[in-house]
Amino acid sequence: MVLQILGTGSSGNCYLFKPEIGKSLIIDCGVNFKKVKQSIDFDIGSICGVLQTHSHGDHSKFTNDFLNAGIDVYMSLENQKEIGITSNRIKIIEAKKHFKLGDYTVMPFDLKHDVKCLGFLIEHDESGKFCMITDTYYCSYTFPGLNNIIIEANYSKEIIDRKFGSDSGKEFLRNRILKSHFSLQNCKDMLSANDLSKVNNIVLIHLSDSNSDEKQFHKEVSELTGKNVTVASNGMIVLFKKTPF
């Protein structure tokens, strides 16, 4: 399996999981559907479905295009209400209720954002077990037996503090960032709380353009974990297997 980063960050998020055998899975609908079609050689039937984390536009803007192409999109009821779309292709899912999506076993779980947001624990024969955590300021769960991790590292609190300082006029924006996204320290704490002995890849996603430092984030997470760490960028392809070989 490979993970193809079709989009990551505030400009649009979409993650494509392409196994060697069987159908592909997509997480989030935040990039132009033309780009998605190109990445799958225009074979719509190769997609078993889309998991949507939440309703914000950088994750949901092109939902209608996926639905109109005949692709099922799985989301929470709150998400469906917030995007205001009705379709028999929308499949409502709930946290802590696992389901099968083709060859993928999916367990949604709640995250902490300013709207209802889901993370996903996913298992597939080729990738093993992996988690997807984005757009949250806290995650209370640990996940035994992970083989791969996709996790947000949106900002550095030190950069935020330098940028905003004591400017009370920017306090609302500062607090919104702190209460809606994973900082580098949140990310490191989450990784430290989990058993990483079987982990092959840690993919850092959704870095802020102005409040992060890619080299610093890569260095600190690599030193902490001793694992293969990748900072996601648009168009990147990551080998996403159960074992390193």
Q: Does 169 fall in a domain?
A: yes
In this predicted structure, what is the pLDDT of residue 122?
99
Domain count for the chain? 1
Q: Does 244 fall in a domain?
A: no
Q: Does 245 fall in a domain?
A: no
Q: What is the CATH number of the domain that holds 84?
A: 3.60.15.10
pLDDT per residue of the chain (245 residues) written in tens, 0 to 9 = 999 999 999 999 999 999 999 999 999 999 999 999 999 999 999 999 999 999 999 999 999 999 999 999 999 999 999 999 999 999 999 999 999 999 999 999 999 999 999 999 999 999 999 999 999 999 989 999 999 999 999 999 888 888 776 665 566 676 777 777 899 999 999 999 999 999 999 999 999 988 899 999 999 999 999 999 999 999 999 999 998 87
C-alpha–C-alpha distance, residues 199 and 104, integer Å: 18
52's CB contacts (< 8 A; 6+ apart) are 27, 28, 29, 59, 60, 63, 73, 74, 75, 79, 118
5-40 burial: b if 16+ Cβ within 10 Å, else e: bbbbbbebbbbbbbbeebbbbbbbbbbebebbeebb
**Which residue range is the domain that position 90 belongs to?**
2-239
In this predicted structure, what is the pLDDT of residue 177?
76
The model carries a pTM of 0.94
The 10s digit of each residue's pLDDT in 7-48 is: 999 999 999 999 999 999 999 999 999 999 999 999 999 999
Q: Does 28 fall in a domain?
A: yes
In this predicted structure, what is the pLDDT of residue 168?
55
Q: Are 234 and 39 in contact (CB under 8 A)?
A: no
At which residue do the structure tokens 């209802």 appear? 116
Provide the total of helices (H) and of strands (E) in the chain, helices listed first: 8, 14
Q: Are strands 237-239 and 2-7 parallel, antiparallel or unpaired?
A: antiparallel
Q: Does 70 fall in a domain?
A: yes
- Beta bridge mates, 149: 131, 202
Mean pLDDT over each residue of the chain, to the nearest integer: 94
123-135 burial: b if 16+ Cβ within 10 Å, else e: bbebbbbbbbbbb
Q: Does 26 fall in a domain?
A: yes
Amino acid 144 reads: P
